Amino acid sequence: MNFILRYKKTILPGLLLSITVAAIAKLTAILLPQLGGATLAILFGIFLGNTFFKQSFLQTGTKFAESRLLEVSVVLLGMTVTFQTIAEMGLRGFLYIAFIMIGTILFAYQIGQKIGFNQTTSLLMAGGNAVCGSSAIASIAPNIHAKDEEKGQIITLVNLLGTVMMLTLPFLGQAIFGDNIIATSALLGGTLQSVGQVVAGASLLSEEIVQYAMLFKIMRIMCLALVVYIFTKIAAKPSDSEKLVTSSKRKLPLPWYLIGFLIFCLLNSLLPIPNWVSTNVKFISNWFETTALAAIGLRLNLMKFLQEGPRFILYGASVGLFQTIVAIVLIMLLF
């Protein structure tokens, strides 16, 4: 009981700050609807987290808001889509995700080696950009013997790259693809690094694009176990092979929130869900999303990234530009 109380006290400051920033963003969005609450939340978070709220005691709560609230939001999103909706993307959608992921992994790995990064750092960058940002990096890191410093550097780089892409790709997609919802959704869901960035970027355009972009994103997340397995084999030492196989058996093949999403999606596909349930689920999911995005902004350390030097900036810009160009070409060919 005492542990629970201490844990709540540790979480509350950062969680309440994230909720407050989300509420301010939602109120501001009434005056600036063209930006929207999601984008304002992450922008306010970045500003406040790098100026007034750098205190270490806030970290536990903002981390909780960033990870757990966003994961629950993804689960609830399953109540807003059906497998019939997923089927609308068809074979083209699966081919698109396969090509963009393979291309991103190969390019990020090769360019990283040429710029001068080691194999571990290059694999983290490849996995983080191809799959699901920080979550993929956290899953891959222990299996390829990554150091904490390497992990932290790439997480910072991927998050900042994703933030820049999140604020630019929605408008680029709209300019190129116009009213083609599937094409714009494919661009966002196939390139943006984290779930939060996909939600935030798509929220700049429409709720329908949020749903479809998340479906493309979920296809990438479903490949996480395969990517971890392949990267483990690439980086494994002969003496570690038995230990790695044993440890991999203890893990879920997919993140728990993706399993929850699929369960909710199945229920929504097979059972008649009352409108009031769907409405309330969307309301709760939206609040969780906005709060999580505020926390992501609060936790993004710009100074730490700038200290990494121009080599990291070149690496991030190269990978981001490659993803964007290849995604646009593939969308034009497939959709």
The count of domains in the chain is 1
Q: What are 132-142's pLDDT values in tens digits?
A: 887 788 778 87
Q: Assess if residue 2 is contained within a domain.
A: no
- Helix residue spans in the chain (DSSP H): 2-31, 36-49, 59-64, 70-77, 83-87, 90-115, 119-127, 134-140, 148-177, 181-191, 195-203, 207-221, 224-235, 241-248, 256-270, 275-299, 302-306, 310-334
Q: Which of 92, 303, 307, 295 is nearest to 195 (CA)?
A: 295
Q: Assess if residue 135 is contained within a domain.
A: yes
pTM recorded for the entire structure: 0.69
Q: Assess if residue 6 is contained within a domain.
A: no
Output the six-digit token pair for 46: 């970045």
**Contact assessment for residue 296 and residue 42, using Cβ atoms and an 8 Å cutoff:** yes
CA 16 to CA 93: how far, in whole Å? 39
DSSP state letters, 149-200: HHHHHHHHHHHHHHHHHHHHHHHHHHHHHTT-HHHHHHHHHHH-SSHHHHHH
Q: What is the residue whose two structure tokens read 């291309």?
A: 103
Output the six-digit token pair for 230: 């392949």
**Average pLDDT for consecutive 10-residue bins of the chain (335 residues)?**
57 90 90 72 86 85 82 76 71 92 96 92 93 79 80 78 88 93 94 83 85 86 81 72 47 68 81 78 81 82 70 91 96 92
**Contact assessment for residue 191 and residue 323, using Cβ atoms and an 8 Å cutoff:** yes
Q: Assess if residue 3 is contained within a domain.
A: no
Q: Assess if residue 5 is contained within a domain.
A: no
Q: Assess if residue 1 is contained within a domain.
A: no
DSSP class of residue 258?
A: H
Domain span at residue 280 reads 11-334
Q: Which of 335, 143, 309 is nearest to 229 (CA)?
A: 143
* Amino acid at the residue 311: R
Q: What are 185-206's pLDDT values in tens digits?
A: 999 999 998 777 888 788 788 8
Q: Assess if residue 197 is contained within a domain.
A: yes
CA 20 remoteness from chain centre: 22
